[in-house]
Amino acid sequence: MLRKIHKISKGQKVLVFLVLFFLNIGLKSLFPDEADNNWSIYVVFFCMLASFGALGISRSIAGRNYQKLFVLAFIFYLYLFTSSLLGDTQYGLAKACLGLLVPFTLATFFGRYEWTEDEIFRYITYAVGIICLVAIIYKLRTGFFDRQQNYGLLGPIPFGWVSGMAFLSVVLRKERYFFHLFGAIFFFLMIIWSGSKGPFIAVLALSVLRFNRILGDKIIVKIFVCVLLIIGIYLVFTYGQNSRIVTSIQAYVQDPEGFSKGLGKGSVGQRQENYSRAINLFFQNPIVGVGFGGWASGAYYQEKYPHNILFELASETGLIGIFLFIFFIFKLNKKNTIMWIGYFGLLALMFSGDFSYLRYSLYPILMGSFVKTASDGIGNGGLRPIKKRLFQSG
């Protein structure tokens, strides 16, 4: 059965997109960071049943293929829900709700309307542009390079994530004009400003992987972009001493062994310690793990998760959780350009964030499943000036 499409005006469409996008990011504020005895698991269980039952199974809202994926997510959520009872229950349930329940519920509302890839890319840049504007104004008052202060609406890690989403939304568009180049540079600088290395590494990896497809086959475009990159790198490393990413790279180049060895000279050493703990916990409980949210239990750790979703699931949910996660990811739609924003999120999850950050990856993937026409590639490449097509795509 085909999903029922609701017609709305362009202005209403923008509003719907922005509301759902900000809800996907901001609903984390509903979950307390500290233990709260009034926060009942039964309330979460009821919300899960209401959302998946009333929204996901309704064939008047979503298509049949989407609902099959919804059922698979429901099974995965049930396992995480049960596993949370064995670990840190409040934290585990919060991660499961944010990582799976929130993006699926919002995507079901999203699927009531007809969308194109270009609209999704444009609206993501609108939303993140608003976030960046608020962040710049806020940080000018509280400390522009003080990473301990939030970036306006978001903390440094999620700010880096959404900036990466906006960067890819600019460079993956089918038709890109000359001014889009400056938008890409702006959002890339926002990633560097955030100091979050996970999104930074993910964006670099995808940019290198799809270099030719993003820039097209025009030599003059590639030369122009390379010149801008050289200038940008020089300026960043010359005047970016307050940037956490810049100082980390410089420290690693000067003393790679000292930077990564132990816990005192950088997050690389901390990550290695986190992964080591995750591996030990996995071998202690290889089938079901120590319980979802329980990675940091039994010892004092500055962080509650290992900053790698595979190590996180392996140690907390065991082989069963890893299998469900990989099978679920494999079943996601891979035939649209929006999917590459999802790939960015999945790659960033190898270095940054916990399972709750899966919503940054999963929601764009689900949005892509509702596009009116989906392409198999990454646009037609190349940059075009605003009026004259001097840089035509290949």
285-318 pLDDT, tens digit per residue, is 899 999 998 888 755 566 788 889 999 999 999 9
Nearest one of 196, 208, 151 to 349, comparing CA atoms: 196
| Least confident span in 150-164, 249-263, 358-372 | 249-263
Query: Cα(243)–Cα(200) distance, rounded to whole angstroms?
Result: 12
- Mean pLDDT across the chain: 76
Query: Contact, 66 vs 323, CB < 8 A?
Result: no
Phi, psi of 154 (to 5 degrees): -130, 160
Say what the pTM is.
Answer: 0.81
What residues contact residue 24 under an 8 Å CB cut-off, 6+ apart?
102, 103, 106, 359, 360, 363
Dihedral sign for Cα 189, 194, 200, 202, please.
Answer: negative
Q: According to the model, what pLDDT value does residue 171 have? A: 84
pLDDT of 40 strictly over 90: no
Q: Is residue 192 pLDDT above 70, yes or no?
A: yes
pLDDT-wise least confident of 169-178, 198-207, 271-280, 347-356: 169-178
For 214-242, give the DSSP string. HH-S-HHHHHHHHHHHHHHHHHHHHH-TT
- DSSP E strand stretches across 21-157: none
The residues facing 177 across adjacent strands are 384
Q: What angle do CA 85, 91, 97 make, to 5 degrees?
A: 90
CB-based contact 238:256 (threshold 8 Å): no
Tell me the pLDDT tens digit for each residue of 125-157.
999 999 999 999 998 888 877 777 888 888 888
Residue of higher predicted confidence among 91 and 394:
91
